[in-house]
Amino acid sequence: MLGDYPLVKALVFEFWMIYMKLPQNTNVLSFQKQYLHDLFAIYQQNNMKDKLFDNMISYYKLYDISSISLLLILQDIEEIIKSSSNISTWVRTYSPLTSINIIDSSIRDVDVCALIECLSKNTTVTALNLKENEIGDMGAKEIFEFLKSNTFIADVNLDSNSLRTKGAQYVSECLKVNTTITSLNIGSNRLNNNGAHYIFEGLAYNSTITDLNIESNDISNKGAEEIAQFILKNSTLKTLNIAVNKIGGAGAVAISEALKLNETITSFNIGYNELGDAGIIAISHCLKQNTTLTFIDLECSFVFLIVFKTIRL
């Protein structure tokens, strides 16, 4: 059996990594984890000096795979790193990972556990970017349960995944207690008004988020009312993107009334909604009272651009 010969397993792993040149994908995280562990164990136990280790590191450097795989190397086999002077020397000279970027890699809920297991041992990653994957509510549960107690990750991007109302609840519960995250992107998911309700419910308890993207989530006037209440009471958010939703004139009026009194938002994107003339006029009128906004996007609204320039010039 292959499992009885760890050296063979390590060599198979080397062949798989160096010669097959498979793309980085967390669907094979468990496979990588075991083989990385075996590789380092063989390196240590047999004093194989540099060959396997250097070949593997060369692969990662050559193909610029520096995020999740190096996390696996440095975190999952911590006991081997500590007991090997050669590896420890390399670790000391390696710049710590500060961001995880696994984009468009078909990551599903089942893959998230392996990622969280690695992140739970890490203290240097401050940005987590998992956009354009297939993460649903259960994956969101794992991620945001972990983030409840994490004090290092400040930037979270789950744009273009499959979070629904239940996923929004997990996000909400995290936002109520997390004091580290400053930027949250959950645009292009499937939250709708119910999901938006939970997001802004959680944000009501949060005083650290400064950048929020919730675009393209089928939010209509009902959700816009929740957004307006949030804008009215919040004093920390600086950037808000609610573009590409289904907000109509009534929702825009509610938001514009809130913006009149808000003194912290500097960038606001409500483009590609269903505002109509009444909504556009309401937003433009709020600018007479709001002097904090420096950027506002209603995308392709020529009438609004004229009004905006007239008010601000």
Determine the Cα–Cα distance for residues 206 and 253; give it in Å rounded to an integer. Answer: 25
pTM of the model as a whole: 0.76
Do residues 142 and 120 make contact, with C-beta atoms less than 8 angstroms apart? no
pLDDT tens digits, one per residue of 40-85: 666 556 555 445 555 555 555 544 444 445 455 445 445 545 555 5
Determine the Cα–Cα distance for residues 248 and 243; give it in Å rounded to an integer. Answer: 12
Domain for residue 206, yes or no? no
Give the position of tokens 């009312």.
225
Q: Residue 25's pLDDT is what?
A: 46
Print the domain residue range for 6: 1-95
Domain for residue 247, yes or no? no
Question: Number of structural domains, the chain?
Answer: 1
Domain for residue 246, yes or no? no
Percentage of the chain lying above the pLDDT 90 cut? 51
Determine the Cα–Cα distance for residues 241 and 187; give it in Å rounded to an integer. Answer: 9
Domain for residue 57, yes or no? yes
Domain for residue 39, yes or no? yes
Assigned token pair, 185 = 């992107």
Domain for residue 151, yes or no? no
Q: Is residue 229 predicted with pLDDT exceeding 60?
A: yes
- Across the range 94-121, mean pLDDT stands at 78
278 or 145: which carries more pLDDT confidence?
A: 145
pLDDT tens digits, one per residue of 157-203: 999 999 999 999 999 999 999 999 999 999 999 999 999 999 999 99
Domain for residue 188, yes or no? no
Determine the Cα–Cα distance for residues 94 and 294; give it in Å rounded to an integer. Answer: 41
Q: Is residue 306 predicted with pLDDT exceeding 90?
A: no
What amino acid is encoded at 52 in this protein? L
Domain for residue 308, yes or no? no
